[in-house]
Amino acid sequence: MARIEKIELRMVDLVPKVKRTDAIQSFVSQETPIVTITDSDGATGTGYSYTIGTGGSSVMRLLADHLAPRLIGRDADQIEAIWHDLEFATHATTIGAITAIALAAIDTALWDLRARKQKLPLWKLAGGAKDRCPLYTTEGGWLHIETQALVDDALEAKAKGFTGSKVKIGKPHGSEDFSRLSAVRKAVGDGYEIMTDCNQGFSVNEAIRRTERLRDLDLAWIEEPLPADDIDGHVRLSNSTATPIAVGESLYSIRHFREYMQKGGANIIQVDVGRIGGITPWLKVAHAAEAFDMPVCPHFLMELHVSLVCAIQNGKYVEYIPQLDELTGAKMRIEDGHALAPSEPGIGIDWDWDAVKARSIAEFTTAIVK
């Protein structure tokens, strides 16, 4: 039985390649905690998570001071037990983003270690439902982008075989959102999906009003229309429209997802490994969604989510937002607008360790050894 002997902690701060704006914020920095676990056989596994610019130092302190030391001497294959032990050890700070982001980096590293030792890619180890999945793009749909540029980006994505494009909404008046989306729909035609994302920017009444106005554009979904903790508001909105409602980016517990599913507050589940606390709870949410006949279209983290969407039967789309290009060698493979499941053992990310080490922030670089 191989025991965990070493945990290496690093954080890299990445600047997005394009300007990213939505209804409530700008995404100007991606703090990326990276955890590498080594066992007594000398095998390693690496996991990561992310912030959108704040909280990274708190995540790293939580990892170094409270979570990583608890891994030393543990059987790395007991992923479920470790996840629950770490969650309980921090129960006074859960449920929330800081703890979930820290747990995600550790849990993903453990799954990477297991997959590498079993010589299997993650998508097969976690289920093996399919070897590819369709992509939709978000990078050309940010809120500040002019209408013609939205149209041009959607046409380019369609020509590449992408399934759809996401356009951020939340302009001061609903007429502006309608005009932008109408132009995209007219350009791409009826056979191409248009996703929208409100980033929790509306009240219930305003969301109902805007959704009604957008009804005839046949949107794939309206994402995060309300604050994520307003389940009853989402139920009211869902009951008022035929347009699917998508949630999950800002949910941090499998029980939050359960409530949305049970109460009918959502139609599409966007569970995010980095926000839910790792692959272990991600799979639980995804399988629960299948029981409710709901598709899973995870938020962000395309380099990791491609394997998980391919692992499950109800995985529908992966969101195309390049995240790790500056830290990796081989990139996610795309063919005719579909992301191909990685064939290499592990979570499928080809870390460029020279780049990772060169960009690591020294004050957060820590090694915890047996």
Output the CA–CA distances (angstroms, integers) from residue 348 to 275, 323, 341, in the order listed.
Answer: 20, 14, 8
Is 305 one of the catalytic residues?
Answer: no
**On the CB side of 338, how many CA atoms lie within 13 Å of its CA?**
14
Collapsing DSSP to helix, strand or coil, 26 comes out as strand
Collapsing DSSP to helix, strand or coil, 6 comes out as strand
| Contact between 122 and 111 (Cβ < 8 Å) | yes
| Contact between 217 and 242 (Cβ < 8 Å) | no
- Among residues 299, 305, 316, 338, which one is catalytic? 299
- β-strand partners of 75: 3
Is 287 one of the catalytic residues?
Answer: no
- Among residues 158, 168, 234, 256, which one is catalytic? 168
Beta strands in the chain, from DSSP E residues, in sequence order: 4-14, 30-39, 44-48, 132-137, 164-168, 193-197, 221-223, 245-247, 268-269, 318-320, 334-335, 338-340, 366-369
Please give the positions annotated as active site: 168, 299
